[in-house]
Amino acid sequence: MNVNMFQADDNILHAEKGEWAVEPRPVEELPLPTDFFWGTATAAYQIEGGALQDGKGKSIWDSFSHLQPSRTNGENADVACDHYNHMVEDLDLMASYDVDVYRFSIAWSRIIPLGGHDDPINEKGIEFYDRLIDGLLARNVDPIVTLYHWDLPQELYNRYKAFLNTDKFKADFLRFAKLCFSRFGDRVKKWVTFNEPYIISVFGHHSGVLAPGHSAATGHDTQTEPWRVGHTIILSHAAVVDSYVREFQPSQKGVMSIVLNGHFYEPWDQESEKHKDAAQRRLEFYIGWFGDPIFLGQNYPTQMRAQLGSRLPQFTTQEMALLQKTASFNSFYGMNHYSTKFARALSDPPAEDDCTGNVEELATNNEGKFLGPVSGMLWLRVTPDGFRKLMNWVWNRYHLPIIIAENGCPCPGESQFTVDQAVNDTFRIRYFGLYLDAISRAIYEDGIKIQGYCAWSLMDNFEWSAGYGPRYGITHVNYETLVRTPKLSAFYLKHSLKARRGGNT
């Protein structure tokens, strides 16, 4: 089968009126290494359903999605894709796509319903993930397991405000992690501690658009909370890595890291040093915030400390020693990336609770040109060149092999499509093709080590505060009947990855 049969018409990227700062290029189906792996990614809360089934406890997202007035488009994930009860069907679906890996998360409150280090374990929750992992391996799919993808047990916020109490959170997270290692580590060889700590810190504890919904409007201290949360995540990550390396890795032979998300930022004015500096500063506030302590064993970026001052917590001597010790134990850089933005330096002093580095993010530059065509989300534009630049930025700063842990997009208008229209997802095919080409260029032209790629997402699902509107899946889900229907993009990825790695299509 020729992968060209899946190619979208070039005109699909020119449906939006406007001029591009970088003209979209054609997909070239550039080669990838023979050992490059690919797969799909999901998160427990977004697909599992079974909100209180078989002893599962309540998470902060169970609470947040039931607030009145609604903060999640009037929808919740009590059922979602009902993966909890359709797991075998979904395993077979992945097998039909010839994926090499499946990145999923474990719902903390499904295996420790109350979350704490002295709280009871739910064996039915353990059994579910046992069956999932065994089912993957039986189909020659390797699991990549994320310990925390945003769905903290609600009881930990009730008891001590969770991330805002570093010592107590670290102890509870360490117990949860060690339980997962002891029960699943004989079969799981790639672990992720936290997914997107920036989002947890800023979107959950500054803007409040995600659970637990902390913001100035809800009476919280947005000047300090995001940085306290980030500090807790960094130290909890280091504690878990240290424990894994000492207690489990010698026998289990697995590897571990964290997944950081981030846009790439282009200067709003390419000729201005001020805006060039703003683009670099935005990357440091977004990625360097976590990457420098975790991967380099260093303190927070200098520009962050200069602007934030006492708002940014200090590491103790003992904490810095732990970070320096565990920095070398992170075996890969997990990258979630979707798009690129322009960064414009603001002329006024930063707001008291600014968390951007006093930088405005824009879709157009000083000439009014767009970075690329818009997808089904206004913030997500097709910008493969920015993706390549971000891989270079990360590689040059941290010198770690990269795993693309999430990448994808919804098609324009897809939320209103019929099933027949949705499965013919040519815009998404084009996006995947261009971003895979960017990975090829990064590997062969820039010398970056990139190990694999996980498409977001295996199936349409509950997209957090946007509810069931955006559809990122390579599989269409009817949320009433729960029928799964593969989209053309699933078969494009299957055949494109085989061809790019030297196989026959």
CATH number of residue 196's parent domain: 3.20.20.80
- Is 505 a domain residue? no
| 152 domain residue, yes or no | yes
To which H or E segment does residue 173 belong?
helix 166-184
What is the three-class DSSP state of 17? coil
Place of tokens 């009476």: 219
The SS3 of residue 102 is: strand
Catalytic residue among 196, 284, 414, 463: 196
- How many domains are there within the chain? 1
For residue 406, being part of any structural domain is answered with yes
Query: pLDDT tens digit string along 160-205?
Result: 999 999 999 999 999 999 999 999 999 999 999 999 999 999 999 9
Answering whether pTM is above 0.95, one says yes
155 is catalytic: no
**Over the stretch 439-486, which tens digit does the pLDDT of each residue have?**
999 999 999 999 999 999 999 999 999 999 999 999 999 999 999 999
Q: What tokens does 397 get? A: 């700063």
Q: Is 23 annotated in the active site?
A: no
Tokens in use for 201?
Answer: 């810190």
- What is the C-alpha end-to-end distance of the chain, expressed in Å? 5
With respect to residue 379, please indicate whether it lies within any of the assigned structural domains.
Answer: yes
Residue 311 lies in a domain: yes
In whole angstroms, what is the distance from residue 64 CA to residue 213 CA?
A: 7
Active-site hit among 29, 155, 225, 406: 406
* Contact criterion met (CB below 8 Å) for 357 and 274: no
pLDDT of res. 21: 75
pLDDT digits 0-9 by tens, 12-39: 555 455 677 777 789 999 999 999 999 9
The whole-angstrom separation of Cα 266 and Cα 415 is: 30
Compute the distance between CA of residue 422 and CA of residue 348 in angstroms, rounded to an integer: 45
Is 43 domain-assigned?
yes
126 lies in a domain? yes
CB-based contact 135:90 (threshold 8 Å) = no
Alpha carbon distance 53, 178 (integer Å): 24
Matching residue, tokens 């919280």: 220
| Residues 251, 182: Cα–Cα separation, whole Å | 11
Is there a cis peptide before residue 489, judged by omega within 30 degrees of 0?
Answer: no
At 92, which amino acid appears? D
Does 212 sit behind a cis peptide bond, omega within 30 degrees of 0 on the bond before it? yes
Range of the domain at 255: 3-500
Helix (H, G, I), strand (E, B) or coil at 68: coil
Asked if residue 42 is part of any domain, the answer here is yes
